[in-house]
């Protein structure tokens, strides 16, 4: 039986380095965050949560409403057919730990793993998400403390999957510490997934990077 995975799309950052809310900037004609949402919806998950702030909540709501009411392509028909639970949560703090806590709390406690995807990775693709999903699926059911991190050129990348055994630790994070801090402290539990394409991991933080990729 396939393991169950909840996906958290992290869209609550304050875009300090960009100087404006980067997730709403257009990439190839669509808001940056919409590319991420579209990719996530290509795969049936047990649950999807989007963690937003006051700047991104309403635009994300509008994007999801538009996608689920006007689109007829295969991607979104899959989402509608599988009836995946999808929710939006607004946080007032820009601290990474707050977003991680709210996402983790929002997941059904019976879900096997939590996949955290950054909203500023517009080129994330279906193939890497399926590879993470398949690797997690292949593991022993008792490996609840598994952490899966894709790797390109020796560097760990995002998105990262945490087995449900880390639920308490994820909810205990403080300040601006996110899942990477927990992964650093739990090196022996990390499974590295080598990957061939760096573009899917590109995160856009600065105006220079934005103009390069837009």
Task: Could you list the beta-strand ranges (E) of 54-123.
Answer: 86-90, 113-118
pLDDT band, residue 26 (cuts 50/70/90): very high
What are residue 19's DSSP bridge partners? none
Compute the radius of gyration of the chain from its Cα atoms. 16
First CA to last CA distance, the chain: 41
State pLDDT tens for residues 156-199.
999 999 999 999 999 999 887 788 889 888 999 999 999 999 99
pLDDT band, residue 73 (cuts 50/70/90): low
Q: Find, among 87, 68, 64, the residue nearest to 7 by Cα.
A: 87
State pLDDT tens for residues 85-107.
788 999 987 788 899 999 999 99
Averaged pLDDT, 4-23: 82
Which structural domains are found in the chain, ordered by start?
Answer: 5-213 (3.90.550.10)
Contact 183, 156 (CB under 8 A): yes
69: Cβ–Cβ under 8 A, 6 or more apart, which residues? Answer: none
64, pLDDT greater than 80: yes
State pLDDT tens for residues 143-154.
778 999 999 999
Q: Which pLDDT score is estimated for 80?
A: 53
Q: Find, among 117, 64, 110, 112, the residue nearest to 88 by Cα.
A: 64
Contact 51, 89 (CB under 8 A): yes
């Amino acid at each position: 039986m396939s393991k169950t995975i909840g996906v958290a799309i992290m869209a609550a950052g304050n875009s300090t380095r960009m100087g404006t809310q980067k997730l709403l900037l257009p990439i190839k004609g669509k808001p940056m965050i919409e590319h991420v949402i579209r990719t996530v919806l290509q795969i049936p998950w047990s649950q999807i949560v989007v963690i937003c702030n006051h700047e991104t909540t309403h635009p994300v709501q509008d994007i999801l409403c538009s996608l689920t009411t006007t689109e007829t392509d295969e991607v979104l028909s899959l989402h509608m057919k599988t009836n995946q639970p999808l929710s939006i949560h607004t946080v007032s703090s820009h601290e990474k730990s707050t977003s991680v806590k709210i996402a983790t709390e929002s997941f059904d406690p019976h879900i096997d793993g939590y996949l955290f995807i950054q909203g500023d990775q517009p080129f994330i693709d279906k193939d890497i998400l399926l590879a993470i999903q398949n690797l997690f699926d292949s593991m022993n059911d008792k490996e609840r403390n598994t952490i899966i991190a894709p790797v390109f050129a020796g560097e760990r990348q995002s998105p990262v999957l945490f087995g449900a055994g880390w639920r308490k630790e994820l909810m205990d994070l403080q300040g601006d510490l996110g899942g990477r801090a927990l992964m650093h402290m739990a090196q022996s539990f990390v499974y590295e997934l080598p990957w061939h394409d760096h573009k899917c991991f590109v995160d856009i933080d600065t105006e220079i990077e934005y103009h390069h990729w837009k």
